[in-house]
Amino acid sequence: MEALDLDPGDYGGTYKLVGGRPSLDFVNTISWPETGREHDWLSSPGNARRWFAAVDLPFPRAKTVDLASLHKTRQLLARVLRPLAHGEQAPAGALAEFSKAAARAYQHRLIDPASLAWHWPAPQTAAEALAPILLDAADLVTAGDHQRLRFCPSCDWLFEDQTRNGQRRWCDMADCGSRDKARRYYHRTKA
C-alpha cells in the first residue's frame, strides 16, 4: 500500500488509505490516537485539500479552510466508530450527536436532473465537504457488517475487512503486520 503525499512536518511516519471507506480513512488521519506519538495529518489546509482529493471528494475552493470543523467531525466519528470496531457500544451521547449531524448532511445531497442519481454539489464550506463522509459513516453504522469493522491491534487505525475470508488483521501488512512478525520472531529466537 502506497503512502499518501501528505506533509508530515517533523513526524517520522506515513499516512495510507487503509480503511476501505472514506469515513474510516478520515478517522485514521490521526496516527497513534491517544498515545504519546499521536500525530494529526489534517493540521494544515494543504494536507486537508490533498486528503479530500485522494479520497475523491470535493473540497471548497476558498483559501481559508475551517480545520476546526474538520477536527470536530472527525472526533465525533471516532467516538462512534472506534467503539464499534472494538466490539463495544458507542456512547449514547455520541450517537445522538452523530444522528443529528448525519441528518444535516443529508440535506446537502441533491438529485442530478440529467443522471437522476444522488450527487454532491460543489461544497462552499468545510461542513458541506464533510457531508459525504458523515453519510458514509451513517451507512456503515446502520447497514454495515459490524463484524468486519475492525481496528489494527498495533496502531488502532480502523478498517473494513473486505477480504473474502474475513481474516484481515492489520492496517497494512507492510507496516504493523511486519512489525508484529519481527517482534514475534525476536521473542521466538530469544527463548
Residue ranges of E strands in the chain: 30-31, 39-40, 110-111, 118-119, 149-151, 158-160
Cell 463495544 maps to which residue? 88
If the CB atoms of residues 78 and 129 are measured against Zn ion, the closer one turns out to be 78
Pick the binder of Zn ion from 42, 129, 152, 158 (CB under 5 A).
152
The 10 Å CB-count burial string (b at 16+, else e) for 79-93 is bbbbbbbeeeebeee
Q: x/- site string to Zn ion, residues 93 to 132, per CB under 5 A?
A: ----------------------------------------
CB atoms within 10 A of CB 26: 27
Is residue 176 a contact residue for Zn ion (CB under 5 A)? Answer: yes
Is residue 30 a contact residue for Zn ion (CB under 5 A)? Answer: no
User: How far is it, in rounded angstroms, from Cα 33 to Cα 106?
Assistant: 29
Pick the binder of Zn ion from 45, 154, 161, 180 (CB under 5 A).
154
What is the sign, positive or negative, of the torsion defined by CA atoms of 6, 104, 33, 148?
negative
If the CB atoms of residues 44 and 154 are measured against Zn ion, the closer one turns out to be 154
* Cβ at position 172, least distance to Zn ion in Å: 6
If the CB atoms of residues 97 and 180 are measured against Zn ion, the closer one turns out to be 180
Terminal CA-to-CA distance of the chain, rounded, Å? 33
Is residue 137 a contact residue for Zn ion (CB under 5 A)? Answer: no
Pick the binder of Zn ion from 15, 155, 159, 160 (CB under 5 A).
155
Is residue 14 a contact residue for Zn ion (CB under 5 A)? Answer: no
Counting residues that bind Zn ion (by CB under 5 A) gives 6
User: How far is it, in rounded angstroms, from Cα 151 to Cα 138?
Assistant: 18
Residues at the interface with Zn ion (CB under 5 A): 152, 154-155, 157, 171, 176
